[in-house]
A and B are shown apart, each in its own frame.
Chain A
Amino acid sequence: MSEIRALIVDDSSVMRKIVERALRQAGIDLKEVHEAGSGVEGIEVLRACSVDLILSDINMPSMDGLEFLRQIRAQNLAEGVPVVMITTESSEEHVKQAIQSGAQGYIRKPFTPDQVKERVLPLVKSA
Chain B
Amino acid sequence: MLFNGVRNAAIASRQSAINESECRKGEGERNMAVSLRESVAQVADPRNLDAGVDEVFELMMGVKCRRETAEIPDSHAESVTAVVGFGGLLSGACVFKLSSETALTVAAKLTGIEFSEVDDTVKDAIGEICNMLAGSWKGKVPELSANCGLSVPAVITGRDYNLHVQAPEFRLHHVYSFGDHTFAVTIVCDGLQ
* CB <8 Å contact, B132 and A13: no
B17 at the interface (CB under 8 A from A): yes
Interface members, chain B 103-120 (any A CB < 8 Å): 107, 110-112
Partner of B21, one of A87, A93, A111: A93
B85 to chain A, nearest CB (A): 11
Interface members, chain B 1-45 (any A CB < 8 Å): 13, 16-17, 20-21, 24
* CB <8 Å contact, B136 and A97: no
A12 at the interface (CB under 8 A from B): yes
* CB <8 Å contact, A14 and B128: yes
Q: B residues within 8 A CB of A90?
A: 135, 139, 145
A96 to chain B, nearest CB (A): 8
Q: B residues within 8 A CB of A100?
A: 24
Q: Mark B81-109, 1 if CB is under 8 A from A, else 0.
A: 00000000000000000000000000100
A80 at the interface (CB under 8 A from B): no
* CB <8 Å contact, A88 and B111: no
B side interface size, CB within 8 A? 31
* CB <8 Å contact, A59 and B152: yes
A97 to chain B, nearest CB (A): 6
Interface members, chain B 129-157 (any A CB < 8 Å): 131-132, 134-136, 139, 142, 145-146, 149-150, 152
- Chain B at the A interface: mostly helix, strand, loop or mixed? helix
Q: B residues within 8 A CB of A110?
A: 55-56, 59-60, 132, 136
Partner of B124, one of A12, A64, A91: A12
Q: Select from chain A the residue with minimum beta-carbon distance to B55.
A: A110
Q: A residues within 8 A CB of B121?
A: 13-14
A89 to B110, CA, bound (A): 20
* CB <8 Å contact, B131 and A18: no
Q: Mark B48-90, 1 if CB is under 8 A from A, else 0.
A: 0000000110011000000000000000000000000000000
A11 to B131, CA, bound (A): 12
A60 at the interface (CB under 8 A from B): yes
Q: Mark A4-46, 1 if CB is under 8 A from B, else 0.
A: 0000000111110110010000000000000000000000000
* CB <8 Å contact, B134 and A14: no
Q: Are A14 and B124 also in contact (CB < 8 A) when A93-B17, A97-B17, A110-B132 are?
A: yes
Q: Select from chain B the residue with minimum beta-carbon distance to A66.
A: B20
B140 to chain A, nearest CB (A): 10
* CB <8 Å contact, B112 and A14: no
B188 at the interface (CB under 8 A from A): no
A50 at the interface (CB under 8 A from B): no
| Extra pairs beyond A12-B127, A14-B124, A59-B131 (4, CB < 8 Å) | A14-B110, A17-B111, A64-B16, A94-B17
What are 21 A-B residue pairs whose CB atoms fall within 8 Å in the complex? Answer: A14-B121, A14-B124, A14-B128, A15-B128, A18-B60, A18-B110, A66-B20, A88-B132, A88-B135, A88-B150, A89-B145, A91-B142, A93-B17, A94-B17, A94-B146, A97-B21, A100-B24, A110-B56, A110-B60, A110-B132, A111-B60
